[in-house]
Chains A and B, each alone.
Chain A
């Protein structure tokens, strides 16, 4: 059941991002709905669900819309793992911490992309990424976050979502 919900969420966010969101661009950036879901999974479900959702979602995103395989998968998995690890150390309220982590995630994503650009020898300046992409995108996505988080909290009231998965211990 949970796998089905996760699959549905991934599918919906990929479709929204590739079809609706290009038309919702403000000052050249679109919100990143996948990040909001992964941060929510990280805060509500922790590890390993968050990095797993990130990995699968990122791979689907790479396949459907990406330029090369693995770029988005890596970013989203690392975000999931980071939030999943940090979530236990904070008292997660309704708005402030989720929004803060969303902003943090967007910055992490763009930092990974900068590294990618460096290795691909693309000519980009970190400053213009920060001003033109990271900050507006973080704000735009952060505005979206409370709604997504509310939805995810509602989802997590159901028992099937909270059955825990563990990294196998031996």
Chain B
């Protein structure tokens, strides 16, 4: 008997492994190649996930409420919201002055950007792993959602849709390692690329903004907005705040650590908005 037959299990495993790796390469290149099959499976699982996610999220919130005093939490949240509103208003004013009232209001996207908003959606699943930062929402092609649409909350940019089914869509968040968004520093007008690093980088839940010009004088606290380049994200959506500026001698550009405005641990409702025109 030839050796290869004797070692058949191993042989089969190797063959399947090669097939899987090929599948990975193909789906990585053509993100929506298998959308039909995925659409069918997602169609079945997403309603179940919706129920479980809602239950888990309320159970988690219940414990959260017990842990932190409920009143303090409520007040804190109110104040935070208020601060967010004020901060957003401030940015908006600066923007309007600087850009001759070109940019839309950032706060309360659904109301103020009525024409841009496609639909509100509920988060129904999250990838728990540390390698991908993908979330699942409960709206799909049936509701007018399409690939490459931007997803936001009132606190800023969440990510973009990369796969869509009839009643679900997957969103690659801006902290995902494979995400990159073209951004602009609100004060200095420097352009750069905001990349995710999952939870692996120096700090958890942060993004990095690279390719910033060496002569830019950005400081911690500067706001970062989408620049509208690349034609996926509309211009002027709040991304986050500069935490730290890193200047490495070997690089010809500055890098900034960005803290996203969105709290990716506690996402429940998001808005899907249309592509940039």
- Docked-complex contact A124 and B200, CB < 8 angstroms: yes
Is A53 positioned at the interface, with any CB of B under 8 Å from its CB? no
The winner among A16, A117, A124 for most chain B CB atoms within 10 A is A124
Is B52 positioned at the interface, with any CB of A under 8 Å from its CB? yes
Q: In the complex, what distance in Å separates the CA atom of A6 from the CA atom of B16? A: 20
Is B27 positioned at the interface, with any CB of A under 8 Å from its CB? yes
Q: In the complex, what distance in Å separates the CA atom of A89 from the CA atom of B201? A: 39
- Docked-complex contact A18 and B20, CB < 8 angstroms: no
- Docked-complex contact B13 and A78, CB < 8 angstroms: yes
Q: 1/0 per residue B27-54: CB within 8 Å of A?
A: 1100100100110011001001100110
- Docked-complex contact B126 and A68, CB < 8 angstroms: no
Q: Interface size for chain A: under 10, 10 to 19, 20 to 34, or 35 or more residues?
A: 35 or more
Is B197 positioned at the interface, with any CB of A under 8 Å from its CB? yes
Is A154 positioned at the interface, with any CB of B under 8 Å from its CB? no
- Docked-complex contact A51 and B127, CB < 8 angstroms: no
CB distance from B249 to the nearest CB of A (A): 18
Q: In the complex, what distance in Å separates the CA atom of A96 from the CA atom of B59? A: 33
CB < 8 Å: which of A22, A81, A132 contacts B199?
A: A132
For window 194-234 of B, CB contacts with A under 8 Å fall at: 197-201, 204
CB < 8 Å: which of A17, A64, A67, A73 contacts B20?
A: A73
CB < 8 Å: which of A48, A77, A117 contacts B17?
A: A77
- Docked-complex contact B200 and A132, CB < 8 angstroms: yes
- Docked-complex contact B41 and A63, CB < 8 angstroms: yes
Q: Nearest A residue to B200 by beta-carbon distance?
A: A124
- Docked-complex contact B136 and A18, CB < 8 angstroms: yes
Stretch at the interface among A24-32, A36-44, A142-150, A156-164: A24-32
Top 3 A-B pairs ranked by shortest CB distance? A23-B60, A19-B52, A30-B128
9 residue pairs A–B, Cβ–Cβ below 8 Å: A20-B52, A25-B128, A25-B265, A29-B130, A64-B125, A73-B23, A132-B130, A133-B199, A167-B9
**Which of B's residues lie within 8 Å of A, judged by CB?**
5, 8-9, 12-13, 16-17, 20-21, 23-24, 26-28, 31, 34, 37-38, 41-42, 45, 48-49, 52-53, 55-57, 59-60, 124-132, 134, 136, 162, 170, 172, 176-178, 197-201, 204, 265
**Which of A's residues lie within 8 Å of B, judged by CB?**
11, 14-23, 25, 28-30, 47-48, 51, 55, 60, 63-71, 73-74, 77-78, 81, 85, 113, 116-117, 120, 122-125, 128-129, 132-133, 137, 167, 169-170
What would 12 more interface pairs be, CB under 8 Å, given A11-B45, A122-B178? Answer: A25-B128, A29-B130, A51-B13, A63-B42, A64-B125, A65-B134, A67-B134, A68-B24, A70-B21, A113-B131, A116-B131, A128-B200
